[in-house]
Amino acid sequence: MKKIVLALFVVFGVVSCQEDPRMEVTPLSISFTQQGGTENISVSSNVTWTATVTGNGFSVSPASGTGDAVLSLKADAATSPDDQTGTLTIKSETLSATVTISQGAKNTLIVTGNNTIDAAGGAYTVTLQYNTTYQVEIAPTATAWIQYTGTKGLSSATLAFQVAANNGSERTGVITVKDAAGIAATQTITLTQKENPLRTALLGLYNALDGANWTASKKTNWNSEEPIETWGGVTIENGKLTKLNLSGFGLKGDLPALVSSFTDLTSLNLGSNPNLTGPLPNEIGNLINLDALMAVTTGLEGPLPASMGNLSKLTNLQLNNNNITGTLPAEWAGMTALKSFGMFNTKISGPLPEAIFTGWKHIGSILLNNNPNLSGPLPEGLGTMTTDNSIFNIHMYECNFTGGIPASWGNIPQVSKQLRVYGNKLTQPVPAAVQNHPSWTSDKWDSYKLNTDIHYIRTQQNNVFLDLAATE
């Protein structure tokens, strides 16, 4: 009987000691900073379990076990500008526990934009994408010409700057956008501003015409970083090159076509440069705003460009004392604003184009004296000219015109006070119509023939003294 009781006790004792499956996990949520790190997860269990994790940059160790354990949950440093989430799942055959994982976004600054701007300067913006507070810094060497003017937007910002006009060579400035927390990668903008195109062209002229050897007292600041408006002979108005006075600079070589790029010029003076050679470039006709073009006492040569007929605003053209050859182009009649025209002591040839006598309606002086290649008859067209000028002086003395003074010249505008054709090869008597011109009184005709201060018509070459035609 005793043996039976003992057996029943053993069986009962075994059954009463077996536990139910259990699993407790703490904590059930973990939050990482953007720097990442490691957090411990406590598992209290009496069963065999496995651990799996989801989400970018998260991992767990160990991945399996039996009974109680401490799991190490690791998060790598954030790489995304967005918050990240994941889960850690610990499970057995019948039990399961889930831990939610979150991680803050990486501090991010992304700057995009065109880093090259024109020399004229002005407003300049770049786009900034960000998820953190930031600060903008401009390199000390560039603060004189780049100013930060503000930001717009919330999670996407437009960084606005004001860039000053560049009157010097190409320049660069560094703008830095920093994460105030010092975490996000610093963004650097290297802003490149182009050289002022006027400076580029002026330096091209400087190099083409031997600028290194120009007269020192004339070429102040040329080929320097000083603003071009401080360069000798350069006048800048409202950012435009309006006057270029290179008189007496010591220019040497052929005048390059790039001078035509100065399309805002109203005055160009190339005078007193005997080593300035070659012809006026055809492109000079592009300087349509010119009011005055002066190239007196130079070495200019070759034919005259017909394109100068495009200079409809030109009032003063002086090309005296040089080696220019060829004839005056008929297209020059397009210089409809011309008031003063000088081309004495050159090598130009005739005939003079009739078109200029009808096209120049504001002319005040035509100075063509001392041109030995001007020959043949004097132009009839002078007698058809009209002008609204208050004076009209004609100098065609010391040339080689032949024949006589055209009778049509009696109709030359009455404002004419000077008619000088002495020193030619004229042989015919002075026409009565010219003698009767109201601007030329009898004392101009009858004085001693060698007194050229008064006698502007009758004294010719080879001691020829013109007769006066009979008058009514």
pLDDT tens for 248-276 read: 999 999 999 999 999 999 999 999 999 99
Q: How far apart are alpha carbons 218 and 228 in whole angstroms?
A: 14
Q: What is the rounded distance in angstroms from the CA atom of residue 368 to the CA atom of residue 207? A: 34
> Residue 153 has what pLDDT?
35
* Closest C-alpha to 363, from 342, 344, 391, 384: 391
Segment 413-442 mean pLDDT: 88
pLDDT above 70 covers a percentage of the chain that reads 91
Structure confidence at residue 270 (pLDDT): 98
Q: Can you give the residue ranges of every domain in the chain? A: 19-103, 109-193, 349-472
Q: List, for residues 349-388, the tens digit of each pLDDT value.
A: 999 999 999 999 999 999 999 999 999 999 999 999 999 9
From the options 3.40.50.300, 3.40.50.720, 3.90.1150.10, 2.60.40.10, give the CATH code of 109-193.
2.60.40.10
Give the Cα separation of 281 and 296 in Å (integer): 16
For 14-72, the pLDDT digits (tens) are: 444 568 899 999 999 998 988 889 999 999 999 999 999 998 889 999 999 998 999 99
Count Cβ neighbours within 10 Å for each residue of 81-107 and write b for 16 or more, e otherwise.
beebebebbbebeebebebebebbebb
Tell me: pLDDT of 284 over 70. Answer: yes
- CA torsion 203-206-211-217 (nearest 10°) is -80
Q: What is the DSSP letter of 459?
A: B
Helix (H) or strand (E) holding 264: none
What's the pTM value of the predicted model, to 2 decimals? 0.69
- Please give the pLDDT value at position 451: 54
Q: Which ranges constitute the DSSP H helices of 284-427?
A: 355-359
Q: Is 299 helix (H, G, I), strand (E, B) or coil?
A: coil
Q: What DSSP element (H or E) covers 71? A: strand 69-75
Return the CATH superfamily for domain 19-103: Immunoglobulins (2.60.40.10)
- Which pLDDT score, from 0 to 100, does residue 2 have? 42
Q: Which amino acid is at 128?
A: L
Cβ neighbours for 102, distance < 8 A, ≥ 6 positions apart = 29, 30, 31, 32, 83, 84, 85, 86
Tokens of 155: 């999670």
CA distance 107 to 80: 9
| pLDDT exceeds 60 at position 94 | yes
pLDDT in tens, 316-355: 999 999 999 999 999 999 999 999 999 999 999 999 999 9
CA distance 167 to 121: 10
pLDDT at 10: 41
3-state helix, strand, coil in the chain (%, to 5): 15, 35, 50
Q: Which residue has the tokens 């001693």?
A: 448
Distance, in Å, from the CA atom of 412 to the CA atom of 327, rounded to the nearest integer, reads: 23
pLDDT at 7 over 60: no
Give residue 9's pLDDT.
39
Segments of 104-208 assigned E as strands: 109-112, 116-117, 122-130, 134-138, 146-152, 156-163, 171-179, 187-193
Which amino acid type is present at position 61? S
What pLDDT shows up at residue 442?
Answer: 64
In this structure, are residues 139 and 161 in contact, taking their beta carbons and an 8 Å threshold? no
**Confidence at residue 188, expressed as pLDDT on a 0 to 100 scale:** 87
109-193 shares the fold of 19-103:
yes
Using one digit for the tens of pLDDT, what is the confidence trace for 228-250? Answer: 999 999 999 998 999 999 999 99
Closest among 393, 407, 394, 350 to 374, alpha carbons compared: 350
Confidence of residue 13 (pLDDT cuts 50, 70, 90): very low
Please state the φ and ψ torsions of residue 131, each to the nearest 5 degrees. Answer: -135, 25
pLDDT at 5: 42
158-189 residue pLDDT tens: 788 888 888 778 888 888 988 888 877 888 88
